[in-house]
Amino acid sequence: MQLTPMLGENLKNYPISVLDGKLWRMSEKIDGVRRLFYKSSTGDISAWSRTNHEDIWLTHIFDYLRAPWFPLDTVYDCELVDRELYFKKVPSFILRSGTNAKASQQYPDNKKDLMAICFDIFKPGGDLRKGKERDAELYSIFNGCSQNELMMRVPIFGNVFGANEELIHKTMDRIISENGEGLMLMDMDSIYIPGRSRALLKVKRTQEFIGMVTDVEMARPGTKIEGMVAAVICRVHGCSVPVRVGSGFNNAERIAMTYDSPIGKEIEIDAFSYSRDKKGAVSLNLPIFKQFVGGNNIERKKTNKRT
């Protein structure tokens, strides 16, 4: 079955004015594994990944969806999470790693600890209902559900109208304090749009880290930055492997580092969070150079930076 989910765009890639004049639902950004559950018009239930691979082993959730209060011919757009880790509010990279380890396995017994958090619903083949209509149905379906259920509605933090940065930041502070990943903003007047859409915006948290430069990586011949430093390799507290930082430098800084080695210097790094690979190595999620610590920074063009 061909199901194309709506994928969120990152708010930081747009001016904050993209929010103007619209009502947005603020929900928790779940760092789990995407699954689309389809309950057909005859009551048959199947589960699909975002790349349209069928998952036949989530039988405990299938049984739950057979309840009569779940409408037929409906797709339930969800994130799988490890139930125990989610309710313990562990850091998001641990939740993702633990969930993925179970979601990638076969056989029902290996997936019985997974639950589904539903953040949207839609009709296959096109759904012209607005976000507020879909959300109202989502609320009616899951109203009264407890943490003991196998599926729940995504936690909602209320609505925000327009570019209310103060309210968004206040809500993000709450999420960060609970080890959350971020916010999802859904346009309440938009239909469900398959693929990347500005009707669904991600607000991801960033953290600041201090790293010690231990090595540099020169750019490959033939690239636009040939002869310059492509990345610095850093030792960062809390990371079990060296962190490669290649984004955030301008060309003047890349050139300067070829003459004045940054090895031994401390730098500030912006990253979304810690990350863990399949072997358990801990690094940083999308590290971006911010500045050298204690001066010695190349003069940079001033930009209006929005976090």
Stretch among 13-17, 51-55, 86-90 having the lowest mean pLDDT: 13-17
Measured in degrees and rounded to the nearest 5, phi and psi for residue 286 equal 55, 65
Mean pLDDT score, 256-277: 89
Strands 151-153 and 114-122: parallel
Identify the weakest region by mean pLDDT among 34-38, 73-77, 91-95, 182-186. Answer: 91-95
Tell whether the model's pLDDT for residue 1 goes beyond 80: no
Higher pLDDT, 306 or 176: 176
Which one-letter DSSP state was computed for residue 294? T
Quick one: which of 185, 68, 189 has its CA closest to 119? 185
pTM greater than the 0.75 cutoff:
no
Q: Please report the pLDDT score of residue 132 as a whole number.
A: 97
From the list 16, 62, 15, 18, the residue with the least C-alpha distance to 43 is: 62
Domains of the chain: 6-204 (3.30.470.30), 207-292 (2.40.50.140)
Nearest 5°: CA angle at 162, between 208 and 18?
70
CB 199 within 8 A of CB 5: no
pLDDT of residue 297: 46
Average pLDDT over residues 82-93: 88
Report the pLDDT value the prediction gives residue 28, as an integer from 0 to 100: 93
Residue with tokens 């048959």: 44
Q: Going along the chain, which residue ranges are E strands?
A: 6-10, 23-28, 33-39, 45-48, 74-82, 114-122, 151-153, 156-161, 182-187, 195-204, 207-218, 229-236, 243-245, 266-271, 273-276, 282-285, 288-292
pLDDT band for position 193 (cuts 50, 70, 90) = very high
pLDDT at 147: 67
Q: What is the mean pLDDT of residues 237-262?
A: 91
Averaged confidence pLDDT in the chain: 89
- The stretch 284-299 carries a mean pLDDT of 72
Picking from 102, 104, 101, 118, the residue whose alpha carbon sits closest to that of residue 49 is 104
Q: Can you tell me the mean pLDDT for 151-171?
A: 93
pLDDT band with cut points at 50, 70 and 90 for residue 298: very low
Closest to 27 measured CA to CA, from 183, 206, 140? 183
- Judged against a pLDDT cut of 70, whether residue 299 lies above it is answered with no
Query: Looking at residues 144-165, what average pLDDT do you find?
Result: 88
What are the phi and psi torsion angles at 208 (to 5°)? -105, 130
Task: Report the candidate in 98, 93, 64 with the shortest Cα–Cα distance to residue 81.
Answer: 98
SS3 88: helix
pLDDT higher than threshold 80 for residue 203: yes
- Could you tell me if 230 and 253 are in contact, meaning their C-beta atoms sit under 8 angstroms apart? no
Average pLDDT over residues 259-281: 88
2-40 pLDDT, tens per residue?
888 999 998 878 888 999 999 999 999 998 899 999 999
pLDDT at 157: 94
Contact (CB, 8 A) for 1 and 51: no
Q: How far apart are CA 222 and CA 260, in angstroms?
A: 23
Q: What whole-number percentage of the chain has pLDDT above 90?
A: 64
